[in-house]
Structure 1
Amino acid sequence: MQNAKLLPQYLVSRYTGWRATTFAENQAWYTRLAEDGQRPRAMVISCCDSRVHVTSIFGADTGEFFIHRNIANLVPPYTPDGKQHGTSAAVEYAVNALKVSHLIIMGHTKCGGVAGCHAMCSGQAPDLEEDSSFVGRWMDILRPGYDRVADLPAPEQVPALEREAVMISLENLMGFPFVREAVEAGRLTLHGLIHDIGDGTLFQLDGSNGKFQPV
């Protein structure tokens, strides 16, 4: 594969520093993880956004979270059509194989994917409407959320759509038979979060009233 190049030096330096410190000081733990396998208690579905650092927010150790990231932290509807579904496959593995106890959808403020969905649905991003746009077709998952916020004052629409990205993902999760079964049996709990990347506040969804409140 001629297009594959060696890592830039700054990443090599960071790796060697990690291996000489963090890894060396915890080598027994890493050896145990390698030999015994992973047993994460929670799965986190978060955005690809580089400003969302899930393990730092929760102070998580290696092996604690099973993390899947995609554009705008979305879960698609349950669609067993024989095609390739990365997010759905990750959910299936976490619930059926790893048997996680918690499944967390973690949205965030200033989400570029959500802003793109808003622009697309409001006719301001025709490029995302093209069938060839992977981002646009992925953001179709959030179109029902746009319909829910379209009548709000303009400045409130994108923040509201960020919350809808979390709620629609939770709704779609319950369409997966194995997720619904685990939830109804009490083996799995679902959680919805919004992380304010500017001030660090974490908001959690209260399912009893559909509102997000500070943690």
Structure 2
Amino acid sequence: MDDVKPLPSYLVQRYHGWKATGYADNKAWYRHLATEGQHPRAMVISCCDSRVNAISIFGADQGEFFIHRNIANLVPPFRPDGDYHGTSAAVEYAVDVLHVAHLIVLGHSNCGGVKGCIEMCRGNAPDLEEETSFVGRWMDILRPKYALVADEKDAALQAQQLEKQAVLVSLENLLTFPFVSEKVKGGGLTLHGLWTDIGDGGLEFFNPHTKAFQIV
């Protein structure tokens, strides 16, 4: 473990600043969370992208959201094959242990993972095609949806459309998990699809009645 180094000084300074202000001002709440455990109302599956922060978007408090982040906010289909499944494990824990009432998939504009998927589908990303590419194999989840946007000539619009397809394929795959579909059918869990524009702060939700995203 000689390659592991101490925390950078700027992060140490930020931590001490938080401990003296954010924590100190809410010490009772943090201690309540520590002793009573977490009881989040919703799980949010969002992208790893550093520009997307569900806590900030919804003004949430600590303990309010159970958050899982991955490349392009994707959920794989239910496949209990004995391999490692971080996203599937997080969904299982949120639904079966924490009993969240809402499961939210949050996509976003200018998604690098989605751009990589587009380049793969165009044959312009040989590195992602390699079997050893974790990103490439992860984006295979979204790859079939490219056919739905392939004819779009405007590159920015095409990317936006595939970003929203990433949300939809994740919602579709969530329903392949028996413990998710059972709770949805029983009314104990609701699924939600969202897409946010990083630049203008806009937020859209998928309307199942119109089969389209619309502004919140």
TM over 0.5: yes
* Residue aligned with 1:83, SS: coil
Which residue of structure 1 aligns with residue 206 of structure 2? 205
Q: Counterparts of 1:41-120 in structure 2 under 5 Å?
A: 41-120=41-120
> Residue in 2 aligned with 1:141?
141
- How many residue pairs align between the two structures? 215
Equivalent residue for 1:20? 20
Find runs of 4+ consecutive structure 1 residues off by over 3 angstroms: none
What is residue 160 of structure 1 aligned with on the other side? 161
CA distance in 2, matches of 1:154, 1:22: 45
Q: Which position in structure 2 is the counterpart of 1:185?
A: 186
**TM-score, with structure 1 as normaliser:** 0.98
Q: How much does 1:14 deviate? A: 0.4
Which stretch of the first structure deviates more once superposed, 120-129 or 149-158? 149-158
Gaps of 5+ in 1: none
Q: Which residue number in structure 1 is paired with residue 215 of structure 2?
A: 214
Stretches of structure 2 that go unaligned for 5 or more consecutive residues are none
1:148-202, CA deviations, whole angstroms, 9 ceiling, x for partnerless residues? 1112224232111001000000000000000000000000000000010000000
Cα RMSD, aligned residues only: 0.7
Deviations 1:27-80 (A, max 9, x none): 111111011100000000000000001101100000000000000000001101
Structure 2 SS opposite 1:60: coil
Secondary structure of 1:24's counterpart equals helix
Question: TM-score, normalising length from structure 2?
Answer: 0.98
Measure the CA separation in 1 of the matches of 2:149 and 2:72: 17
Deviation digits for residues 84-130 of structure 1 (CA, Å, limit 9, x no counterpart)? 10000000000000000000000000000000000001101111000
Equivalent residue number for residue 172 of structure 2: 171
Cα separation, 2, equivalents of 1:57 and 1:5? 33
In the alignment, the residues of structure 1 paired with residue 158 and residue 14 of structure 2 have an alpha-carbon distance, to the nearest angstrom, of: 40
CA distance in 1, matches of 2:185, 2:58: 27
Q: Distance in 1 between matches of 2:158 and 2:25?
A: 48
Match of 1:39 in 2: 39
User: Which residue identity lines up with residue 120 of structure 2 in the other structure?
Assistant: M
Counterpart secondary structure, 1:141: coil
